[in-house]
A = this chain, B = another copy of it.
Amino acid sequence: MGALHKGHISLVRQAAEENSHVFVSVYVNPTQFGVNEDLDSYPKTWDSDMAQLKELDEELEKSGKGRIDAVFAPTTKTMYPTLPPDSTLPGTGSFVTITPLANLLEGQSRPVFFRGVATVCTKLFNIVEPERVYFGQKDVQQTVIIKRMVQDFHMNTEVRIGPTERESDGLAMSSRNVYLGERRRKTGIVLSVALGAARAAYEMGKTNRDDILALAWDITNMMNIGQDELPVEKQAQFEVDYISLADPDTLEEVETVDPKKGAILSGAIKMLPLEATVDGEKLGLGNDKVPVRLIDNLILKPKA
């Protein structure tokens, strides 16, 4: 979807290490945005995107590995050649749906999201016919759904997942981070901290849901209380949408982690608009007036 950051670039680099020819698609797909979501304001940074890809391609030229053959940036008329793209439910058009996976977690807040993703990816796969497709671990539910889609429809491609790239304080890189001014940016790490604490509990031998998630909830609750105690011009309020401990294939919530299978620990928080700002404060794109949804996840790996 463009608005490229280091996470995307590292995925393209991985693709070039594993393949001789790399196609990059840059397309802000309307059908994966709900009618009240941020399609119109989603960051579009074409010049910066191309500069980053060009820089990477120069690096690849020297490395003797695969190269970026093309950037595929289609029009919406190309991607939706007959009916206009529809983000309503049930909506009209040609769609791929992957349920019940698409209805869980992110799908609960964003009911059309994965229909749009599965649909546009099917089209992209059919157009490019790639031997391998690359997705980032950060959108873990997307990776599970795309894998399921490839398996169920016998699509002739291999799904490869690249690791989540993070800022030095642990915040997962996201195109939406540009909306976070200094204050919201600082509070935004709560999710990765909470998930990290939960993973630590698993690593220390806990397998029970409550034992694993307790610390994560303690951290988010403490941070919520902490925000309430601040004066309004210092607050960066957030709401936890979910913290999930789920089966890695079905994404269903688990009561106990099977150490042979591991689990997916994931969460979403909504950074609320700042209620008051201070002169000279570093604000994000849009002056921190829009809510920003942040997601993150960690894989609890199977134990031998």
Contacts and interface: CB of A to CB of B under 8 A. Distances in A.
Interface stretch (A10-18, A88-96, A131-139, A208-216): A88-96
A154 B99 CA distance: 23
A221 interface: no
Q: Can you tell how many copies of this chain the complex includes?
A: 2
Contacts of A83: 152
Nearest to A118: B94
A20 interface: no
A127 B151 CA distance: 11
A203 interface: no
Contact of A153 (B90, B123, B129): B123
Nearest to A129: B156
A109 interface: no
A126 interface: yes
A126 B154 CA distance: 6
A231 interface: no
Given A91-B99, A93-B99, A96-B96, A82 B152 contact: yes
Contact of A154 (B91, B123, B153, B156): B123
A97 B127 CA distance: 19
A1 to B, nearest CB: 19
Contacts of A152: 80-83, 93-94, 123
22 contacts: A82-B148, A82-B151, A83-B152, A90-B99, A91-B99, A92-B99, A93-B152, A94-B97, A94-B99, A94-B148, A94-B152, A94-B153, A95-B96, A95-B99, A96-B96, A123-B152, A123-B154, A126-B153, A126-B154, A126-B155, A127-B154, A129-B156
